[in-house]
């Protein structure tokens, strides 16, 4: 689905994601949209506008340098390309394919992040870049686990 790939590439290039390279962080903006469309399947415009606010608030809290216009464009891309063109505006199809959409989006996002790593000289091959992304995600998970252990020990 080229429309979904276009969305994932846009997100990677504009840093529209959570704080880390972990799976949930990369999927968070897409999950906001899918969640709002699940809650308001007959009110697509409202669901998308709500998603813009939720994504902006989240990204503003966890990342620096992400512009509000980029987030709005991201949601508009989803609405026009993924929902409009690929799924012909059918929110039910979106719900039926949610798991596959999330999986493919993650693949496309990681591929683009690998290209970004290569372009910035952080890696020389896509495999090396993907390995670095996975390592960064694993280190982030380890740090979170340590923080959790410390916070429960201090209670």
Q: The whole model's pTM is what?
A: 0.85
Convert the pLDDT of each residue in 65-121 to its tens digit. 889 999 999 999 999 999 999 999 999 999 899 999 999 999 999 999 999 999 989
Residue numbers of the domain that contains 93: 2-153
Say whether pLDDT at 24 is over 70: yes
Look up tokens 């606010």; give the residue. Answer: 53
Per the structure, the count of domains in the chain is 1
Question: How many Å apart are CA 69 and CA 147, to the nearest integer?
Answer: 34
Neighbours of 64 (CB within 10 A): 7
Say whether pLDDT at 134 is over 80: yes
């Amino acid at each position: 689905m080229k429309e979904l790939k276009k969305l994932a590439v846009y997100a990677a290039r504009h840093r529209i994601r959570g704080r880390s390279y972990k799976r949930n962080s990369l999927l968070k903006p897409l999950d906001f949209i899918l969640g709002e469309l699940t809650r308001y399947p007959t009110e697509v415009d409202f669901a998308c506008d709500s998603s813009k606010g939720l994504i902006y608030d989240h990204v503003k809290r966890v990342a620096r340098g992400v512009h509000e216009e980029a987030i709005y464009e991201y949601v508009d891309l989803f609405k026009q390309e993924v929902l409009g063109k690929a799924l012909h505006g059918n929110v039910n199809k979106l719900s039926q394919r949610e798991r596959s959409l999330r999986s493919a989006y993650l693949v496309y996002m990681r591929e683009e992040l690998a290209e970004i790593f290569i372009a910035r000289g952080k890696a020389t091959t896509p495999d090396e870049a993907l390995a670095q992304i996975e390592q960064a995600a694993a280190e982030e998970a380890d740090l979170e686990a340590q923080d959790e252990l410390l916070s429960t020990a201090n209670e």
